[in-house]
Structure 1
Amino acid sequence: MSTTRIIIGARIFDGDDYQDGADLIVEAGRVKAISPRNAAFREAEIVDASGLLLVPGFIDLQVNGGGGTLFNEEPTLDGIRQICSAHARFGTTALLPTLITDTREVRTAAINAALEAKAAEVPGFLGLHLEGPHISLACKGAHDPALIRPMDKADLDEMLTCITALGCLMVTLAPENATKEQVLALANAGVVVSLGHTDTSFEIACGYAKAGARTVTHLFNAMSGLGHREPGLVGAALAIGTLGVGLIADGFHVDPAAMGIALRAKEGRGQIFLVTDAMSTIGTDITRLHLNGREILRKGGRLTLADGTLAGADIDMLSSVRFVHEKLGLSIAEAIRMATAHPADAMGIANQKGRLIAGADADFLLLTPELQLQSTWIGGLKAFEAPITSGEKPCGRA
């Protein structure tokens, strides 16, 4: 069978612009070109996508779970496979399984599982996100305070040891429990350092950005707010041009008005990108789950601890894209950029993911004009196809 496939008839958005009147040519799992068909490809397999929108696959840099699996509870290769498979049903073609603050033993298991997933080329697996334990007690959110601690040499060495084989590693930390020297060492090794769960000042955040921090974790949540005399981490996230900024767009973590203000205020080349912060509920009808021995309840689109603290999110990436398009009035193109090109830029993988350019991975989606998912493709292979009978909606919240 030919390794060349041509998707015809769709309106193509390549991650930056629309490419009208052209087809997507895929060869050996990568984008060969976006161009009209020609005789050189007459032996290719043809996929008719007439009337659909073809866009890059979504990239989610903060995914705690999915399909009934929470990464903290199952830090294994099988756990990663389940999470990636669950999110492919909602348009995510590359994700970072995210480990919330846990014990040293669980973190080591998570790193080992991520290395196995990388070696096994699990479809949809991008790398690993370690969210804690080196965060601030004052801004712990749903993280177990008993497990929060400063970064030590063993922690640093473990992360530096795995980054080469892993390729993509994001670490959320707070200046309260990690030094600028540690941030510099991580950044120099290629780790994407993200500031989050911190009560730090604007000035200190600027210093950590200069030391190598590249992103900010879930803007507005679990961080020092924007004040008129102390801009805090929110102010730093918006004012420092080099910082990419994650945003949970479920309508519960951040009010839509605040989202709009942030989008209008963001400076520099660093962009605001969507993250789901999804838990194990995605793709299931479960109503309860556990994290570090504590029960999390699912109700009305929210996930909370018993005291009402938000504990992750109950939203998928396609629903997030639709939210910012419908509630914030963003164009479909910009809403899609927030889930594709912007997170790729934040991770430094713009030549591989997030855009349909020659040589990039052939990760793409076919969507209806109403932004319903028809199919998900990872590495040029169909990973999910929505059912066409029974009247079920093929995407959105479970």
Structure 2
Amino acid sequence: MKLIATCAAGIESVLGNEMKHLGYSANVENGRVCFDGDFDDVIFTNLWLRTADRIKIVLSQFTAKTFEELFENVKEIHWEDWLALDSAFPVNAKSQKSQLHNVPSIQSIAKKAIVEKMNQTYHRRTKFPETGSVYPIEVIINKNKVMVTLDTSGSSLFKRGYRLDKGGAPLKENMGAALVLLSHWYPELPFVDPTCGSGTIPIEAAMIGKDIAPGLKRKFAFENWQQVSCQKIKCQREKAKSKIKSDIELDISGYDIDGRMINISTVNAKAAGVLDNIKFKQMALKDFHTEKVNGIIVSNPPYGKRLSDRESVHKIYNQMGEIYRPLTSWSKYILTSDLQFEKYYGQIASKKRKLYNGSLRTDLFQYWGKKIR
């Protein structure tokens, strides 16, 4: 099957590297990585990919400029190979720069085509109950090119299942993992998030350090599909559990000025199975200091989107510069939507990388340390 792993804009290459390290030959495109595989790979990638949003099966690709063309091409798909009589098959659609641009109409026509094909296959004319397993279908149209897919994940893969509580503006788990991977952190190095909020970044770092599959504590849409073996799902989960490095020692710390957030971080880390691997402590940014060398700092500080917040946020950026700059052997990675960050930090970044935190454009300001041998 042709499969795609979708992701947030800006981290396609990170996802591509993940795929490569997992043994796949993949093509990186805007917002996704394409690869070939079977249902074993569907199970494996849903379990193991840290920066992906969803894993989808590509059912068909074609050009459509009219609703008639859309209807006939969707109807051509062998839906009987996928859907049982009672299968639920919700249809979602997206369209941009295309002659077919009315999303509700696209969804309606595609649904009608599927029902027509199913009626012909099963020789019936009554309404399908749609009370069984859910097969989420998506019709994506871009410049009149149509892609029809099945979503194997269900809920987005950032929903790991460990976040029992959160703060006001939580970072998605897969974005937290992307930041850790972009920092090129190794488990033997110190890792610090001085503005940890609900603990997402330290928790994702600990899961990487312990080799915990990010999808181990959640369910997926494909688990109820007739095409997927329950035994194979169980086998892959057990194999993933056996890979966890339970005895590894990690030097990971998460700090926040808000004691309530430290409590939330602790609860989430416990749910993720990494509480013993992270030191959480209530502490103001200005009080952070360390004698350690060759460490990694990854931080997602407040952005100050409201005018009333900007002065206090700029003060935080200034404190960061004063505290981080003397740590010359440490590499620092700060994510913010404030393009004036360097001005208040007091240093030009070694590199900037554009990322999207949800729909919000942000930049990852990277300051590379000079390691002490």
User: TM-score when scaled to structure 2?
Assistant: 0.28
Q: Which structure: larger Rg?
A: 2
User: TM-score normalised to the size of structure 1?
Assistant: 0.27
Q: Which has the higher contact order (CA 8 A, sep 6+)?
A: 1
Name whichever structure is richer in helix by fraction: 2
